């Protein structure tokens, strides 16, 4: 199975078109949110480790899963005195209404479990805006939704096509590919083309 980057799962759950534009057409761009994210990840992205409060903090730890076809890096993995592992993902803003961040973190845990032969019941997302951690439990429901999302991502990329634009107010404007995707324009064009095709179909 082809190995896909872990971060692409987050893109896919945020917007399937965004993921396809990145991996199929190779588009990359930056905006205020990606720039702030780079700053937040600056320390965590430096490979290495440190010891704090009895735990070993592994930074930028490479992970992979042959079963899921994923690879990438964990921002921080805490190796605690009792031998357990606790992944921590850094995010720029506050918690959002959709669970793409939770699934990305869960996917990291699934990779670690496969690599290390352990069970990881929970992890955390550190929100830089509030400077607070939010614990995420990797329950059966989240694990199942994450595994299904990974499978759906592989299916999407297997056909090498980009889904049509679907404009979602608020979410689209925050996307770094907004000026490339142009969701309102391309969605309107698609709707107009479909209407024209239907009219031609019924012309006598």
Regions in the chain scoring below 70 on pLDDT: 29-45, 93-98, 188-204
Please tell me the pTM assigned to this model.
0.79
CATH number of 4-163: 3.90.320.10
d(CA 168, CA 136): 26
Distance CA 56, CA 66 (A): 26
pLDDT (tens digit, 9 = 90+) per residue, 144-169?
A: 999 999 999 999 989 888 888 888 88
Rounded to an integer, what distance in angstroms lies between the CA atom of residue 184 and that of residue 175?
A: 13
């Amino acid at each position: 199975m082809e190995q896909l980057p872990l971060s692409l799962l987050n893109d896919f759950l945020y917007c399937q078109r965004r993921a396809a534009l990145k991996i199929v057409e190779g588009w990359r761009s930056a905006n205020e949110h990606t720039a702030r994210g780079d700053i937040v990840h600056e320390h965590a992205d430096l490979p290495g480790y440190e010891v704090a409060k009895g735990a070993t903090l592994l930074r930028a730890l490479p992970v992979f899963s042959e079963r899921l076809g994923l690879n990438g890096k964990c921002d921080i993995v805490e190796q605690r005195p009792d031998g357990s592992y606790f992944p921590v993902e850094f995010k720029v803003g506050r918690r959002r209404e959709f669970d793409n961040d939770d699934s990305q973190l869960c996917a990291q845990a699934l990779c670690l479990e496969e690599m290390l032969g352990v069970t990881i019941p929970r992890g955390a997302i550190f929100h830089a805006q509030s400077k607070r951690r939010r614990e995420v439990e990797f329950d059966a429901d989240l694990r199942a939704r994450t595994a299904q999302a990974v499978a759906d991502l592989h299916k999407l990329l297997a056909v090498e096509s980009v889904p049509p634009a679907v404009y979602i107010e608020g979410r689209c404007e925050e996307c770094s590919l907004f000026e490339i995707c142009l969701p309102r324009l391309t969605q309107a064009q698609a709707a107009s083309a479909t209407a024209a095709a239907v009219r031609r179909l019924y012309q006598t």
